[in-house]
Every structure is written in structure tokens, then in C-alpha cells.
Structure 1
Amino acid sequence: MPCTATATPPDLTAVRPVVADDAADACTVIRQSITHCCALDHHNDADILGAWLSNKTPENLAVWIAAPGATAWGAYRGQAMVGFALLTRATLALCYVVPEALHQGVGRALLLEAEAHARLEGVVTLSLDSTRTAEAFYRRNGYEPSGPVQAWAGLVAQPMRKHL
């Protein structure tokens, strides 16, 4: 049963748990978000973008969603998934929103759902690695840098955490 943490943003039908069968939709959300919303991170460099997207496949998403200790949610407008989040124990591994749903409360609804679930599981501190694009979003939601910036394949990520 999902933890309902907040009111539903306008035009958002539901934030609900997803399963491995939803991996293709989740993959579409992630790939659209990275490609169109994260230019600050990949600078439209084909090599950087290719490296970032290389493991974002429906097959990998299905494995990640079904992994022990993982919980995933989709944000839906009607039948269309417009956001996706994956929690792996005490780490928010993925949280992405399609371009047309940005700045409408979708990411926040997913984040609050993941935090509520983590609290129920006894997690005291939730961690994540933020892109440059998402860092201000996480800061607005109470996350603070928790270590030096990490670099990989031309990308940088800021480790962050929030005490729940």
C-alpha cells in the first residue's frame, strides 16, 4: 500500500508504486528527462549523453525495480507516466520528470512519497547523488551536500543527504 505524503499536484492523477512490468514507461521518462532537461549536465555532448543513457534500458530498469530492498513509484497523468522515482533502501537512486511536467509539483510528490516510505522502513537519513540540474530542487527540499563532487564520464554529481 503506498504512503500518501502530500496532496496531488494539479492535473496529476496519481503517484503509485510501479513494478518491473512498468520498466519501459519508466525508461522513457528517464531518457526524456536526461536528454531534454539535463543539458546543464551533459552540455549536449553526444559522448557524455551516450554514457549517461547507456544503462537506462527497460531491461535494466526492470531489474532495478525488482531488486531486493528497492521500491519504485510512477507519477501519472491519466494513463501516461510523467515521473519516476526509485528508492534503494536509504538511497534515492533515481528521480526524473518528463519535460512537460517540470515545475508542476511532480518531482516533489515523488520525493515526498519516497521519503515517507523510507521513514516507515526506519531510514533516518536519505542519500542521493544530485545532478547539477537537480541540485537546487533537492536543496529546496531539505537536502544538503554530504561530500565532495563526484565525476564520471564527463558528468558530475553532488552527494547529498537529508535527515528524515
Structure 2
Amino acid sequence: MSAPRIRTARPEDADACARVLTASITALCDADHHGDPAAIARWVANKTPEGVARMIAAGGIRVAELDGRIAAVGEIEKAEGKITLNYVDPARRGRGLSSALLAAMEAELARSGIRTARLTATATARDFYLKHGWQPAGPGRAGRWIVGYPMQKRLDP
């Protein structure tokens, strides 16, 4: 297996990114949506190719490519010092793609002057982030469709 290539998403990536996001949420986030079709539908409502194209145009979407195909999708908000997405294709889970994407997004935030990064983890991803040095930054709180867990991490310059 080749190493993942991390890059900024391009407009032509919208379809592939939408597929990865929707598949990941649907198949891997059961601890959050509990298989409820209505909860899944609300969560993925903006993960259409058109919705993802708008996210790409805003400039924060990053992708991990494996063997020339988009296998994970992340998003950063540099001005806020936040990571807002990190999802992997369920068929490619367990290959270090989310970890590589997370490390690249953390490094990008650090290069932009962010010293403490923030994110809101899902129940599914909370242990993943803890394993990568993130710390709880408050109690879980109800979001738009799931409970989110605020986390933060001190970044090295």
C-alpha cells in the first residue's frame, strides 16, 4: 500500500468527497446516530456534491488520497483554529488515513499561528482524538443532530 497524499480539495473532487462523507457517517457513526434514518438524513443533508462544492470553494477542505482515489475528507477553519471534519471511507478504515489527515491539518493550523486548536468530536471519534493528544475542553453538548464533545490540543510552532 502506498502512503496517503494529503492535499487541498479541488472543485472536481466534490462528488468523491460527498460519497466519502456520506458513507463514513452512515456506516461508521452508529454510536452517534444509532442507525436512525432521520438522524442520518439530517447529518448528511449538506454533504451532497453541491454542498461539498460550496465547502471546497470556501477553501477549508483537505483530502487524503490513496492509490489516486479520495479516501478521507477533512476540513479546517484557520481563522477559528478549528478542525471541523475528519471522515474516512469505510472501505479504507484502519489504514492510518484519518491519522495522516489529522496530522496534516494540525500542522497547517500550527503554521498559520494557531497555538491551541479546537474541534468538536463525535462519540464515534472521541477516543481517536484522545489517542492523538487531544484533551476534553468541556462537557458533551447537544448539537444540531448529535451530542458533540469539545476538545482542544496545544500545537507546536
On whether the aligned pair clears a TM of 0.5, the verdict is yes
Q: Any conservation in 2 of the 1:48–1:153 contact (CA below 8 Å)?
A: no
Note the residue ranges of structure 2 that are not aligned, 5 or more in a row.
none
User: Residues 43 and 145 of structure 2 are in contact (CA less than 8 Å); yes or no, is this contact kept in structure 1?
Assistant: no
Contact 1:33 1:97 in 2 (8 A): yes
Partner of 1:74 in structure 2?
63
On the 8 A contact 2:134/2:153 being kept in 1, the answer is: yes
Q: Is the 8 A contact 1:65 1:86 kept in 2?
A: no
Shift of 1:83: 0.4
Q: Compare 139-148 and 14-23 and name the one that shifted more.
A: 14-23
Instruction: Structure 1: give runs of 5+ residues left out of the alignment.
Output: 1-9
TM-score between the two structures when normalised by the length of structure 2: 0.90
Runs of 4+ in 1 over 3 A off after TM superposition: 10-13
Cα 1:82–1:149 change in 2 (3 A) is: same
How many residue pairs align between the two structures? Answer: 153
In structure 1, the residue matched to 2:77 is 88
Aligned to 2:109: 118
For 1:74 and 1:153, the matched residues in 2 are separated by 25
Paired residues for 1:141-156 under 5 Å: 141-152=132-143, 154-156=145-147
Q: CA deviation at 1:88?
A: 0.9
Q: Distance in 1 between matches of 2:4 and 2:51?
A: 27
Residue 19 of structure 1: which of 2, 6, 10 is its match? 10
Q: 1:62 matched to which residue of 2?
A: 53
Counterpart pick for 2:20 among 17, 29, 36: 29
Is 1:157 aligned to 2:148, yes or no?
Answer: yes
Q: Which residue number corresponds to residue 53 of structure 1? A: 44
Give TM-score, length-normalised by structure 1.
Answer: 0.87
**Equivalent of 1:42 in 33, 37, 46:** 33
